[in-house]
Structures are given as structure tokens and as C-alpha cells.
Structure 1
């Protein structure tokens, strides 16, 4: 990972930011500090807030490194809010969710008639983010040939739509993100070294939830408070739930915490009882913890077996979808289709 800069935290107030001091050292008295779209009270998060505060007013490219679900897009949004570009668009694109055949058209747009089905001119994300901030998530999943084109655009501030001839100028600030060690991605041939150093003018390492101490409990209470205000309820976390929240390692980070809490909230009358160790309804039992081995109960539905196998293999290869698809013996397109299906299912549970 990248080294970060030393912290000289300051308590400041901006139009889009409310900073509140941490008042005590335990989760029952301490308050979350809100910084843009982010929340935290732990020293590691205060370091992150300090870094964002320093880099946001500049035009430096930012690379956010952190595990899936820990809030990398929130970092990008906060950088945008505190920048001189705050009144202009913020556009996000997940490089890992775009098929290789479509990523060029999504980035740079296309002209009418450029290919079959191009019935109109379509502006790409560089055009849609003009004057503002473009967030490129999962940058290490972008095909290498497209990384070459991206590097040229970042250096020249010029691009051409697919099927077009006129070179267009762009004025965007790029914030990129990855859930992998970028230097390892370079060594494995998944990220160009020249692009890495163009994107990582100012790197920010975002800590996983398990390294944020009591933030996990403070965040759970915060999310529950939001749900209560939204639905006009007064539900509370039980003591056993708070103990379980502090005990669980939260491999899915803040996203997992929020979704788990939402499910428990829906089922609760007054006291919210949540145990993140329990399997989701219809998902079967959790596998016994044996390195490199998944175990299933007889009778587990095949879609659930497939889902757990895909997720476990993806984790084994540190999020590298190409290697995951090869190991599972499926096409990259099939893998993306499955992952998109799981994401929609998770979103359904979260909003049900």
C-alpha cells in the first residue's frame, strides 16, 4: 500500500462539512465526526479526513485504496464537495462492471451510426463530468489497451468519440479507486505503471471497518437513527446486538454493516436483534472456516452453492475477475452477469 502523509488535524467548518470533536474514548459517550458524506471517530478516520481536507482544494489526482464496501466512493464525493468544482457534476463509473467492448464508448461517448445500435450521439463520462469530478472505481479492472487511451486523455485533456473525427477538449478532475494493492496489480500486469503514477499523485489508504475500533458500533447506532427518522419509529439496538456488532470482523465493511442492520430493523418490533454470524434467509449455513475449503449442507440450493463458490473464488484472487472466471471455467461475461445479479439481490434485501 501507499504511505500516507502525517496528520495535523484541524477542527474546521465548511459549507458542505460539519466537523464535530470526539469527546471521549468509549463508544457510549463518543460522537461520530461528520466530514462531507463520511462519518468516523477513530484516529485512523480522522487521519483520512485530514488528508481529504488537504488535497480537496487542489487539482491533484487522487487514488483511493481500500477493501470493497469501506466507502471509497464517499471519499471521492467528499473530495468533490470540498473542491472548487463542487457546483459542477460528480460522475462515477465502475470500470469492473463494464464489458471490454463497451468501456471505450462509456468513457468517451460515440457518434450516431458508429456501430450497430448507435441510433443517437451519446456523450461519455468525460463529457458528462465536464468541469467537475470523474470517479473511476475498480481502475485495475480496466483492460490494458484502454488504460493506454485513458493515460493519453489524462495527459492531453483531449479525446475523440467512438466513430468521430473531431478531437474534443475536457476539463475534469479524476479520482480513482481500487480494492487491490496497486503495486501488486502492476506486478501482475493488471495496471500500467505509468497510469498508476498519473492517478496516484495523492494516494489515500482507507482503513477497513475492523481497524476502526468502536466506529462500528457508532455507525450502527447512526444508521439505526436514520431508519427511525425515515420511518417514524423508535427502535433500539439490544445489548446482545451491540456485543455481536463489536465482535464480528465485518469482511464486507460498512456496506455489510448497513445491510445487516436494515434486515434486522425490518424484522424488529422495538428491540433490534442482529447477529451478523447468522446466514441470510435461504442462503444455507455458513461454511466451516477451513482455508481454501467450502462446505455445504446436503440439500443446499444450487444457486446458493454457485454464489458462495463465486464469491469465495473472487476473494481468493483478491477481486481479479479475469483470474476468477478462468479458475471457475466460465466466461468473463458470465461472471459479470452473476455478480450483477447478486448485487441486485442484495439491494433488494436492503430496501425491502
Structure 2
């Protein structure tokens, strides 16, 4: 039977927490000070240590040093004052989670129910280390260069904790793969991992996507909708391009981080949030703060454990390892046995890869298509996204092309180059975000009219589908009928 030690100098808190912990199948010991807690540790090493941060004779975190086998005990810190400093301290001393007074009973139960042994997680990390040594893979990521080894160390350290993580790095470096690796090495791995791109969803829809909405809360809300924070209960929510989130929504996200609750659109009833947040951005969050586009208080809340992913150009021989891996995947899918020539591998190191791993994957796919049996180093490079910036972002337009079509092609090409982040594309184009959405809707409407003329009436679709349709149609020349 698992054993828990509860350390707190408030008798009422100790009393009700003991009842909750016992109901979850634990034996319980209690203490009201560091001295009494140390005496309990001598009698029996707990599987779970629930300790108040502030005790009459010191700090509860000091007990971690007294554990005979720290790897065998889950440490949950309880604090009456939620702050970034207390969260960071809890992570540094190896806490798996922390609770804010008054402690939410359901959150406490969720922690107790999802607790696998730390030794189990350490064993999994050890297995990943062995796989890294054999095939250069760690979780969802490939590469064994020194920068990646350092990255894996950070992922391994933060994954078993409850810390909020902020991933930064250039586009295409694998931030979502890093987030998935953190989730898979955490105590939340048996629960959902949900990712949302904060810059690719209409500002009118993103709040509903995150927090859900009540029936009738706005036009078209014909049923109750559970947002990501409810769907991912017990798991992880990955907020990609978080600096592109509208400012009014940043305030609501900050409230979730501070109170552990959220409300659906159209309601006032708070709902407890039991998710871990991992955020990511490919731009400097500090610059976004200085430009007034990202709240400083939210930045500090998310930046509890920052991790920067290295660009591909700094990863040395990982470039060749990744290229070979992508080629193996293509050979396996297509039933072929194509290989790189020595010249082709040498050419890999001549490019600076501004699009990073995503660009390399596209390069390999193009090279694979052009090759018969051996991928040579000349022709595929000409078809790949060239590193030189002056050769990118070009659009060829015939003389006499209608201005409306020119505008469409420039708009959609800019949006694609920005990775679908509409806020960034609007800024580059020198138009408002609302104008960009209006353009996308107009493009989609015109396409529907063309299709209706050829195939008959089309069914109505939602606003977000209209935007998605506009993006899909805008990536190439306009369709001819």
C-alpha cells in the first residue's frame, strides 16, 4: 500500500487532506514541523511527500535533502502564495507538482491518481538515452550533436515536474516535437496532448477553441462546446506561436495560470483547469513585450523553465543524420532503395537551412522524387529551398494579369512564407488583421461561386473552414475552369 507524508502546521488542512489521501488508497503520516517530519522520514520513506512551503522551523523544501532515496518519493509543494519564484524553487528541488492554498480537492486527487513512480520515469529516460546512443533518437526528436544533447538534458529534467515551459527557436526547429517529448516523459503521458496554433485561428474563434462556449453564447453556437482546456483534462496543452495571441485573450490565459480556473464563453461559472501548459514562439518574446504585443506578466508566468531549440546550421552532422532518416522513411513508404551519393551529402553542409529541419525534409523529398536510384548532389539542390534570402519570396506575374489576381497571389504567398501565421502576414503586407481575414473570405467565396457554376451549389461551411479553404486555394495559381 503506498504511503504519504503530509507536512503542514494548520491542523484543519492536515485533517481534511489526510481523509482525501486515505480515500485514494494511501497510508498517511502527518507532521507540523521540519523536526517532526524528519522523525517520520526515519520511520518510513513516503511514496508521496505533501509539504507546505513555509513551516514554523524552516522551509518544507529542506526535507528533500533528508530523503533517503529522493528518486523514490514524489514531492508536492503546497504554497499559500502563488508566484513564479515559488514555482521555480519547487522545480529546482525536484518537486513533481505544486498546489496553491486553498488546495483544490479534485486537483489533489488527480495528482495522487496519476502518480507513477519517479523510478519508472527515470527508467524510461534511461531507455531513451540508450536509444539515442544506438540510433540518434530521443523521444520524437533525432540528432546527437552537442547542442541536442544539451536540449535532451533540459527536456529530461523538466518533463517529470509540473513546471510551465516556454520553447523558443526559429521556425522549423521542432518545438512541437520537443513539447510532445516533454509530455511523453511526464506524469500526464496517459492523458491527452493537444496543440493549437495561436496565430492561425481567427481572433473571434480562438477563445472558444481554448475555453469552450455555452449553447447560444453567439451566432452559430447551436450546442455546448468543450475547449482544449477541458478536452485535455489531466494532460498537456501546447500553445504554439503564443506571442501571436490577441491581447484580450492573453489576460484570460494569465488568469488561468494564476487561479487554475477558466470560464466558457457565454458563462460565468469557473471550471477547474488540470492541464500543463507548454508554450512556444519563433520570435523573441522579449521584443514582443517591448513592442506591446505580449503582456509582460504573462511572459513571466510562461517563462518558468525556458528552453531554446538550436537551429539546424549549428547541429553539425545532425544534418546528414536527419537527411538519411527522411530518406529511409520515403524508401519504406514507397518500397524503394534509393541512396544519397557522396556529392549529395556534401552539398547538405553547403546550405544554411533558414527553414531548419522542415526545410531539410522538403529538400530530401524533392531530391527523392528527382532521383532514379542514387540521389546526386547537383539537380536536387536547385529544386530545394535555396538558403540565399534574395532567391526566396519571388512571384512571377504575366503582363496583363488583373490586379485582383496579383493581390491574391501576393497575399497567399506571404501567408505561406509566414507559416500560416496571419498576424505576421498582415504586418508584412501592411494591412490590418481584419482586412486579411476579409480578403481570405472573399477569395474563398469567389472559389465557391466558380465551383457552383461548374458543379452546382455548395453546402455552407463555418468561418474557420472558409479561412482554411482560402489558404488551400491560395497556395498555387488560381484554378482554371
Give the TM-score normalised by structure 1. 0.80
Is 1:323 paired with 2:433?
Answer: no
**One of 280, 288, 300 as aligned partner of 1:185:** 288
Query: Compared with structure 1, are the counterparts of its residues 188 and 163 closer, same or farther at alpha carbon in structure 2 (3 Å cutoff)?
Result: same
Q: CA deviation at 1:64?
A: 0.2
Larger Cα-atom Rg: 2
Unaligned runs of 5+ in 1: 1-11, 24-30
Which has the higher mean CA deviation after the structures are superposed, 243-252 or 188-197? Answer: 243-252
Residue pair 2:440, 2:470 contacting (<8 A) in 1 also: no
**Greater percentage in helix:** 2
Paired residue secondary structure (2:173): coil
Matches of 1:342 and 1:216, distance apart in 2: 34
5 Å-filtered alignment, 1:71-110, equals 71-110=174-213
Matches of 1:22 and 1:168, distance apart in 2: 41
Counterpart of 1:18 in structure 2 is: 128
Matches of 1:202 and 1:188, distance apart in 2: 23
Counterpart of 1:148 in structure 2 is: 251
Paired residue secondary structure (2:199): helix
Q: CA deviation at 1:346?
A: 11
Which has the higher mean CA deviation after the structures are superposed, 332-341 or 138-147? Answer: 332-341
Query: Compared with structure 1, are the counterparts of its residues 306 and 91 closer, same or farther at alpha carbon in structure 2 (3 Å cutoff)?
Result: closer
Residue pair 1:72, 1:206 contacting (<8 A) in 2 also: yes
Give the TM-score normalised by structure 2. 0.60
5 Å-filtered alignment, 1:1-352, equals 14=124, 18-20=128-130, 32-273=135-376, 277-279=381-383, 299=398, 302=406, 320-326=424-430, 331-333=435-437, 344=472
Residue pair 1:20, 1:33 contacting (<8 A) in 2 also: no
Residue pair 1:288, 1:294 contacting (<8 A) in 2 also: no
Matches of 1:122 and 1:329, distance apart in 2: 26
Counterpart of 2:23 in structure 1 is: none
Unaligned runs of 5+ in 2: 1-121, 444-466, 477-481
Number of residue equivalences: 323
Q: CA deviation at 1:131?
A: 0.1
Query: Compared with structure 1, are the counterparts of its residues 247 and 122 closer, same or farther at alpha carbon in structure 2 (3 Å cutoff)?
Result: same
Q: Kindly indicate whether structure 1 or structure 2 has the higher relative contact order, using CA contacts under 8 Å at least 6 residues apart.
A: 1
Matches of 2:361 and 2:388, distance apart in 1: 24
Give the alignment's Cα RMSD to 1 decimal: 3.6
Q: CA deviation at 1:306?
A: 5.4
Paired residue secondary structure (1:203): strand
